[in-house]
Amino acid sequence: MLINNLNSYSSLLKDYTELRVQENRTLRISLVKGNLVKNTKEIIGGVSARVNKKGSWGFVSIPEINLESIKKAIQEAGYNAAFLNSKANKGKERFLPSNPTMEKSFATHKTRLTQKEIMDYVKAVDAYIMTKYPNLINRDIHVQCLDMEKNLLTSDGASLYSMLPRSIIYVDLTLEKDGQPVNVTNVFGGRGQFEDNFDTPDKLYLELDKTYEHLLKKSEGVYADAGVKECILDAKLAGILAHEAIGHTTESDLVLGGSVAGDYLNKQVASSLVSLVDFAHTYNGELCPVPIYIDDEGTKSEDTVIIKDGILKSFMHNKETAQHFNVSPTGNARAFEYFDEPLVRMRNTAIIPGNSKLEDMIASIEDGYYLIDPSNGQADSTSEFMFGVTLGYEIKNGKLGRGIKDTTISGVAFDVLKTVSMVSDDMNWSAGGFCGKKQLITVGMGGPAVKCKINIGGR
């Protein structure tokens, strides 16, 4: 159990200190071809303290949550900071104080399902796929539910209680074509506990049928013609474009580490059709997939406008990088587990919708590709990004053609975004993935469909 209020420990926080008590609860169920290969629960929690002495950080985490462990974490984090400070005194000033306070829980208000009810749901989805599509050689269903519950208190008096849940079902369908396996994946769910995202199994069936239709077309698919092509990146892909291509290069710690974005502040880096924002918690009056109100350093989270009408406007900051750049911290410091220190992380990174219609965008391409579903991606200090594409189609003379096999697209973000010539008027948010940067973290990614020129892998 978490301690509901850390304020009684405020007298223990002498130097600049963040005290955090956190518990992550995870449920994982995996059915592979109907076989239950994973059925696990994980409850990992504890206390951590991070202390800053004149620019040197000390951090200590302990799994027990009680007065003794809290005292020990604070004391030993202080020792660690002092150890570094004794080796090299950086002489840095204390951060400007801020003390927002917030309690925010996204726990379900519905009656919690039992383990059996969740298992029955998964088995019903599996049975539907097996019965309706007997020609599949494999079907994978993976359930992952994560509840992140945390309490934070800083020496400046900032405090936070938050409970941020996410529940996801990944479905992967495989059939065999000419002796070779071909697969397509779909992802369901997002912010919220299982009860809020998954009502009855039949609500997934229409999307599963569409997934199967895509699989059939992909199994007849061809290799993409490798090279730079005109492409429509579907709204599902635009989010990962925002995250990988631009988001990472504008994280201020990576800017300090040499990211090319550091050279481009207030310069034109994209078509004037492109605006890109890392939203703290709300977009257009609606909650984002990963709403962050106060970050893990106790900073009130604000939207970070990264690109406005094609101009690079600002970077995402924690307290330390904000001090370096002499700007205000943006509330982007986030930690995944209780034993992780806060790092500069994205929250809900999105390209802002434009005015075009997807069908007009497809019709405008003579020879190119319509790319729909992404897999993993990676960023670079040069802004040269890549991400996998697991579902896409040729575009020939303005019409969709054959499906294409799995491929990868890449480009230098600040070049690719200058080729953006149309942006659709819709918006799609995804919240199924993790971002990796020393630690994992949940992130939201969003955007409209985008027309651009990009390098596609193939034969």
Partner 1 sequence: MEKKEILKYCIDSLSESGVDKSQCILNYSKKDELNVDIGEISLFRTTFDTNLEITAIHENRKGSISINKLDKDSIDKAIVDLLELSRTSEIDEAYDISPKQETKVFSSGDEKPDLDKMYSLMDGFVVKVKDMYPQIKLEQAIFDFVKTEEYLMNSNGVDFQSNKGIYNFTPIFTSKDDENTTSFNYTQVSLSELKKDLLECGSINYLLRESVEQLKSKPLEGKFVGDIIITPDCLYDFIYFLNSINLSDNTLISGTSTFKDKINKKVASPKFTLHSNPVSEEICNGYFVTDDGFEAENLTIIKDGVLKSFLLSQYGANKTKLERSKNTGGAYIVESGDKTLDKLIKDIDRGIVIARFSGGEPSPNGDFSGVAKNSFYIENGEIKYPITETMISGNLNELLLNIKDISKERINFGSTVLPWISTSGITISGK
Size of the site for partner 1 (CB under 8 A): 83
Question: What's at 78, amino acid-wise?
Answer: G
**Residue 83 contacts partner 1 per CB under 8 A:** yes
CA proximity to 214, closest of 185, 236, 234, 237 = 185
Task: Determine, following the binding rule CB under 8 A, whether residue 196 of this chain makes contact with partner 1.
Answer: no
The dihedrals phi and psi of 118, each to the nearest 5 degrees, come to: -65, -45
What is the nearest approach in angstroms of partner 1 to the Cβ of residue 151? 17
> Should residue 67 be labelled a site residue for partner 1 when binding is judged by CB under 8 A?
no
Cα separation values, 386 from 36, 151, 186, 410, Å:
34, 36, 20, 4
Q: Are 166 and 193 in contact (CB under 8 A)?
A: no
> Where are the extended beta strands (E) located within 318-412?
333-334, 343-344, 348-351, 367-378, 384-396, 399-403, 407-412
Map the footprint of partner 1 across residues 243-302, applying CB under 8 A.
253-254, 256-260, 263
Half-sphere exposure of 158 (CA within 13 A, CB side): 23
* Closest separation in Å from C-beta 425 to partner 1: 29
Name the residue nearer to partner 1 (CB basis): 229 or 300.
229
Point out which span in 30-38, 97-105, 391-399, 423-431 binds partner 1 (CB under 8 A).
30-38
Position 3 contacts partner 1 (CB under 8 A): no
Among 338, 346, 361, CA closest to 450 = 361
> Considering only residues 397-426, where is the footprint of partner 1 by CB under 8 A?
405-408, 410-412
How far the first Cα of the chain sits from its last, in Å, is: 55
Nearer to partner 1, 60 or 288 (CB): 60
- The reply on whether position 227 binds partner 1 by CB under 8 A is yes
- Contact code string over 140-169 relative to partner 1, x by CB under 8 A: x-----------------------------
- Which positions from 118 to 137 touch partner 1 by CB under 8 A, shown as an x/- string? -x---x-------------x
Burial class (CB in 10 A: 0-12, 13-18, 19+), 68: exposed
Which x/- pattern over 356-395 shows residues binding partner 1 (rule: CB under 8 A)?
-------------------xx-x-xxx-x-xxxxx-----
Instruction: Give the 3-state secondary structure of residue 347.
Output: coil
Interface of this chain with partner 1, residues 41 to 60, rule: CB under 8 A: 41-46, 55-60
